[in-house]
Amino acid sequence: MLLFTPHSSSSPPLSLFPSRSVISTPHPSSSSPRPPRRRAAMLRLTQLLCKVQSHQKKRAQHPNAGTRFGRVYNRGFIRYGFGGFGMSVYSPKKNRNFTVEPPQESVPDVLAADRGLTPTTRSLSPNFRAFALDDGGVLMTHPSHEQVMRWGQGVRQAEGRATGMTAMDEAVNARIQSIIADNTIENVSLQHWRKNHMWNLVKAHGRLQRRWGTPDFVKGARTTLYNN
């Protein structure tokens, strides 16, 4: 049995369902006012948003993961498989040596008067002399055509004395090689190469199914290195 006693002026009223006036709220003039209730109400409905929306029924592994005894060493594993720390695809280890950079080549002065016109040097280069003219032109003194041809003939004669071959021998050898090349007949007919090429085209671009009624993962497991 509940007894309701009249409350005094010093104590708050007692009731079964206290109203909002019973809850002690800080005075507006206090130093730390409480934030409005609207902000706290936004955090009351977050349980609906934290639920897991979907579940993964069929879990799959990476094909290169797992034990190293059940692997299939096909082309995909060799290309994408883990080869170890610092291992590249086809090289044993990454080269981490420090490289010494070569010094940068300085661009030569094009208008330098004490250098050659080009860095190229030939046997007759000293015989080509350039002289500057007053009008800005260049006078080039060089051996005549006949002198250059005579020099080349002398070089050929020296080579012939060293090797024991004459120009006729070289011409005969070149002619023999051309005759052999013109009269060489391949042992395989042209139809053989044509069939080969057409079959390669069909294998590359044709929709061929080699294993009928086999799912893809079984085909991938049966695949060998050079057979796919």
Within a domain: residue 6? no
Within a domain: residue 61? no
- How much is the average pLDDT of 51-78? 69
**Between the CA atoms of 62, 63, 64 and 68, what dihedral angle is there, to the nearest 10 degrees?**
120
Q: CA-CA distances (angstroms) from residue 49 to 41, 45, 54, 199? A: 15, 8, 13, 59
Structure tokens at 223: 């695949």
Q: Which domain holds residue 152?
A: 145-182
Judging by beta carbons within 10 Å of its beta carbon (0-12, 13-18, 19+), is residue 220 exposed, middle or buried?
middle
More confident site: 129 or 68: 129
From CA 114, how far away is CA 61, in angstroms rounded? 73
More confident site: 67 or 182: 182
Encode pLDDT of 106-128 as tens digits. Answer: 888 888 877 777 777 788 888 98
- How much is the average pLDDT of 129-154? 93
Q: Identify the pLDDT of residue 19.
A: 55
Q: Identify the pLDDT of residue 6.
A: 56
- Highest averaged pLDDT of the listed ranges 27-31, 89-93, 123-127, 214-218: 123-127
Q: Identify the pLDDT of residue 205.
A: 78
Within a domain: residue 165? yes
Q: Count of domains in the chain? A: 1
How far does Cα 96 stand from its chain's mean position? 18
From CA 12, how far away is CA 32, in angstroms rounded? 24
Within a domain: residue 121? no
Give the chain's mean pLDDT: 74
Within a domain: residue 59? no
- The amino acid at 40: A
Structure tokens at 219: 């085909």
Within a domain: residue 162? yes
Q: Identify the pLDDT of residue 28.
A: 58
Q: Identify the pLDDT of residue 225.
A: 47
Within a domain: residue 172? yes
From CA 71, how far away is CA 77, in angstroms rounded? 8
Write down how long the chain is. Answer: 228
Within a domain: residue 29? no
Range list of H helices, 164-215: 167-182, 190-205
- How much is the average pLDDT of 183-196? 77
